[in-house]
Structure 1
Amino acid sequence: QLPIYGAPPLKSKYIEEQPGCLQQQLLALRSTIGHYFGWCQSAYVFVRNGIMDSIQFGKDAYVYLNNPPPEFLPKAAVITVSGLAGVVLARKGSRFKKIAYPLGLTTVGYSVCYPAQSVVIAKVTGKKLLCASHQTYEAVRSLWADKETVTKV
């Protein structure tokens, strides 16, 4: 009955082991590399999804153009000719005309061929323009309101 160990002290407290210098450096290295690998993985997923979407779009376009609906080619011709007419009309104009005429006439050709879709696009664009104009108005008004309050004080 000889005890090998002595009796533990009555007031003992647990002290957690502090990490050493090598352990701290490895932890810092792992966290830095972890952030880098996370960024690389998200970039890889983004690029992979973009490539897969592009491949699928190409396959769908190939299938669609192999068996186009009967009204597709005349509509495409009207849209193309209207865009080319805009290019011809703007050939000796300013830069604005060289952009606005082809874009505008192509839009007119599209709206002639696809009136229902044109109405939807016009409504959505109108709502977005209205929202943007309200935001611009409020921003300018707040700038003027701040200047007026400063001058009155």
Structure 2
Amino acid sequence: MFKLSLYSVPEHQSKYVEEPRTQLEESISHLRHYCEPYTSWCQEKYSQNKPKIQSLVQWGLDSYEYLQNAPPGFFPRLGVIGFAGVVGLVLARGSKIKKLVYPPGFMGFAASLYYPQQAIVFVQVSGEKLYDWGLRGYIVVEDLWKENFQKVQISSQ
């Protein structure tokens, strides 16, 4: 009787021979190498924008959930604030500056009636930012004034 070992491997001399590429494979390879910079650019942009898009989607889901379980009186307040914006748009006929100022102004006023604490905080923060911007502008104008008009006075003497 002839016994075969379970762990022995028959010895065969195998040789792997790679077949030559076809014209179709060569064309696809050439196309992939040609498109590689563009695809890597797209992947880079996707990886940069993915967190922003995910946070935007999460904000949308949170907003949807909030609107599904809105506190009592939220929708009437929202309607009044929106109506104030429409009134501001109607009253701003004719002037582009009025169209930029009136609707947000009326909406802000209506929102401040319903949410006074948030309005106070908003005004405080906005006032600080406006003060900072004004101070920066003053410094820039002062520097320009000193640079330009002191040269004129020195050269005229």
The AA in structure 2 aligned to 1:102 is P
**Per-residue deviation, residues 80-117 of structure 1 (Å, max 9, x unmatched):** 11111112222x33112222221211111111111111
Q: Does 2:137 correspond to 1:136?
A: yes
Q: Tell me the distance in 2 between the aligned counterparts of 1:98 and 1:152.
A: 45
Residue 62 in 1 paired to residue 67 in 2?
A: no
Displaced runs of 4 or more, over 3 A = 39-42
Structure 1's unaligned 5+ residue stretches are: 1-32
Higher RCO (Cα < 8 Å, 6 or more apart) = 1
Deviations 1:112-147 (A, max 9, x none): 111111111111111111111111111111111112
Kindly state the Cα deviation for residue 41 of structure 1 after the two structures are TM-superposed: 5.5
| Match for residue 85 of structure 2 among 83, 86, 92 | 83
Q: Name the amino acid aligned to 1:84.
A: V
Structure 2: runs of 5 or more not aligned: 1-35
Question: What's the counterpart of residue 47 of structure 1?
Answer: 49
3-state SS of the aligned residue for 1:70?
coil
Cα RMSD over matched residues? 2.2
Question: How much does 1:76 deviate?
Answer: 0.6
1:119 corresponds to? 120
Secondary structure (helix, strand or coil) at the match of 1:68 reads: coil
SS of the aligned residue for 1:135 comes to: helix
Q: Helix, strand or coil: the match of 1:46? A: helix
Aligned residues: 118
2:105 — aligned with what?
104
